[in-house]
Structure 1
Amino acid sequence: MSVSRISSRSRRLNKTQKLSVAGVSTLAAAAVAFSLVPNDASATTEPQAAAAAAPVAYTGSQTQSLKATGLSQNTTAERLAKTADAAKAKEEAAKKKSAAKAEAKAKAVAEAKSKAAAKAKADAKKRSAKKASRAADRKPVYANNLDGWIREALSIMHEKKIPGTYEGLHRNIIRESSGDPRAINNWDINAINGIPSKGLLQVIKPTFDFYHVKGTKHDQYDPVANITAAANYAADKYGSIDNVDSAY
């Protein structure tokens, strides 16, 4: 065998040896790795559980970001609270305004009713005054004679509810005074006693004063005052002047 062949074989052996060594190393590494694998699945999760249980470490930028987020949340909460307060205050103000408006309206309605009532009362008073004025304007004017005196006396007697008729008055007036309002009796017992009978129906002063009708003159010689007083006396004593046919 030559030296060159020996050298070539030596080189091949060396290469084969190297491959063998590499293979052995690989197998050894695989065996080591296999020996490190746990026998059950729980052993596999322990590092994960340990990692999960371990405290999280935040960087400076992460800490600032979290703080900023917290501040932002606080600010948002404050804004929401302020917005809610503002809305509540606005609602209360609206309610107060509405209540004040309703109260003002009710007050205005009451004042309007009061004014309307006052106006109606004033108008009624004016109408009453006008009616009275028209009635006064329509007041009849009686003639200044026996017929006029009797008719005016009858009007007053009717108002005062004193009974009597035109015929009864006229009949007694003619008998007592012949229709002379200034007639006076100076010879009978009344005259002797100092209280002579006077006027159309010849009444004495005490009788005239007691039965005088309000609204007429306080004068025995006044025709209307004399007739109404005498008729009032006759109504009290005889029921009506119509029932008198002689001295009374």
Structure 2
Amino acid sequence: MGTSVEETIKEIQGRENIFVAYSQTTKLPYVTCGEESFNDQAWFFTEEEAIKEFGKKKIEEKVLLMGMRYEKKDFPKMYGLLFSIGVNTIMWNDGGEQMEIDLERIVRKPDLSKVEPQKRPLINPTLQLSGIYFMQELRRPVPQEEHKNLRALEEEVIVNLRKSDFLVAMQRKGDEPDKINIPYLKNKEGKILQPVFSDVMEFEKFAKGKKLRIAKVPFNKLPNILIEQAESLVINPMGFNLVLNRDQLKKIIG
């Protein structure tokens, strides 16, 4: 008789380390949609050899993976990442049997409704998830005609862009507190890009070491924050960047 779900949950909670399958494309946990459950799944393994074997099988589908080892002290960070990208189940592989388990049965999901609205960290799990699926398929090294549902995945990203809020970095201008600068980036070609962020984690990477203020802006207002010299706006969800010029932004907004 196999191990029960309850026993497996206790094993996961008590482990000293876990191996998680990551996508080489997004540098985030590899996510699949369950064929029968339609759940959004991350893949967990007890042993390094088991995740290597899983990776070899996925190479046949032109899916490139890598294994990430998490120690127990980093479990809260790992689970927080899974919630933030919209994963709701894990596929547990102990080297023999495989089992799908609801993520919230392993760890409690943070209840942000109890946090004051102005203090809630911005996360866009639906956008992150649709972007992950799109990028995992877009970067799969196969001929164009072999890509699966690419157009539908792209349209889902666009729908979720329209529904999302974004973070914009702002900086006081020298000794003039009433004047605000919006930091910009330059790409290798010297083009000026205006960065905005879909979640607080990506914003913090950009803001590290800088004294920046922050504003939350809905997608349909993003054209308004493009600085005069910026040619495009670069949206930074986790795992990928979207570069959109003013015309593309307006077309998506409709």
User: Common fold, TM-score beyond 0.5?
Assistant: no
**TM-score after normalising by structure 2:** 0.19
Greater share of strand: 2
Relative contact order, higher structure (CA 8 A, sep 6+)? 2
Greater share of helix: 1
**TM-score after normalising by structure 1:** 0.19
Higher Cα Rg, which structure = 1
